Amino acid sequence: MGIEGKVVAITGASSGIGRATARLLAERGAKVVMGARRADILAAVAEEIVAAGGSATYRVTDVTRRADLVALVALAVESGGKLDVIVNNAGIGPISRFDALRVEDWDAMIDVNLRGVLYGIAAALPVFQRQMSGHVVNVVSTAGLKILPTMGVYAATKNAVRTISEALRQEAGPNLRVTEVSPGMTSTDFASSMTDAAAREAIEKRLAGIAMPAEAIARGIAYAIEQPDDVEVGSVVIRPTAQD
C-alpha cells in the first residue's frame, strides 16, 4: 500500500501532466523513471526532483518507437530493481475539422496517442508477468466522453485507449491493475502541437478561462497508485468545475 519505494515509469514526463506526476510521486517516495523527447528539459526536471530529496532517472524516449519504450522499462528495472507502475501519458492534440484534411496530423495522433500506449503496455507486461504484479495507468481525456467538433480524431484515439484499458483489465487477472485517467481542460502545452490556427486559438482561449493545474491530474494518478494491491481504481475523471 502507498507510493513510497515504488518504481514508476512515466512517458511525456518533460512537461504538463507527466512532469507534475513525476514531481508528486517522487515527493511521496517513488523512484520515478522519466521518458520524453526533450533531453534538456528531462535533465532539468530530474535535477529538481533530486535537489528536493527525491529519486529520478530519465531516458530520451519517443513513444512512436517501440524500442524506446523497451529501453525505458529496462532502465526502470536496472535502476530500481523492478517496475511497479507505467504511466502512459505522452500525447498530442493537433485537432482540426475533418474537411481541413490534415491527414498527417491524424497519423501523428494515432502514432503517439494510440500506438505509443500499446508500445508502453507491450514493454511493461513481460516485467509485470515475471513479478506477478504491476499497474498500467493510461491517460485518456474527457474529449472522448463528450464529442465536439474538431476533436474527432483526437477523441477517437483516446477512446481507443479507453477500450484497450478495459480489455486489458479483464485479461489481467488478480495481479495486474489497470487505471484510465480522463483529464478535462488542463493547463499544459497541449495547444503547442496544433497546426490549425483557428482550432489553436479557440483552445487557448478556453484554457485561459477555466483550465485547472496539471497537479490536479497528478493527484488523481497518485490516488490510484497508492491504493492497496487488492484495490483497483479503474477509471478517474477529473475536470474543472466550470467545464461543461
Q: What's the mean pLDDT in 166-189?
A: 94
User: What count of other Cβ atoms lies within 10 Å of the Cβ of residue 191?
Assistant: 18
Cell of 172: 489481467
Q: What pTM was computed for the model?
A: 0.94
Answer yes or no: is pLDDT of 1 > 70: no
- Round to whole Å and give the CA distance between 6 and 78: 14
Domain boundaries, the chain: 7-238
| Catalytic positions | 154
Q: What's the mean pLDDT in 163-174?
A: 96
Instruction: Give strand pairing partners of 231.
Output: none
Burial of 44 (0-12, 13-18, 19+ CB in 10 A): middle
Least confident among 100-114, 194-208, 228-242: 194-208
CATH class of segment(s) 7-238: alpha beta
- CA 202 to chain centroid: 24
Give me the count of residues in the chain.
244
What confidence score (pLDDT) does residue 84 get? 98
What confidence score (pLDDT) does residue 190 get? 75
Answer yes or no: is pLDDT of 213 > 80: yes
Answer yes or no: is pLDDT of 10 > 90: yes
> Rounded to whole angstroms, what are the CA distances from 121 to 11, 34, 72?
12, 16, 12
Q: How confident is the model at residue 63 (pLDDT cuts 50, 70, 90)?
A: very high
- CA 154 to chain centroid: 15
- CA 144 to chain centroid: 15
Instruction: Give strand pairing partners of 9.
Output: 33, 86
Answer yes or no: is pLDDT of 191 > 80: no
What confidence score (pLDDT) does residue 198 get? 80
- Contact criterion met (CB below 8 Å) for 74 and 88: no
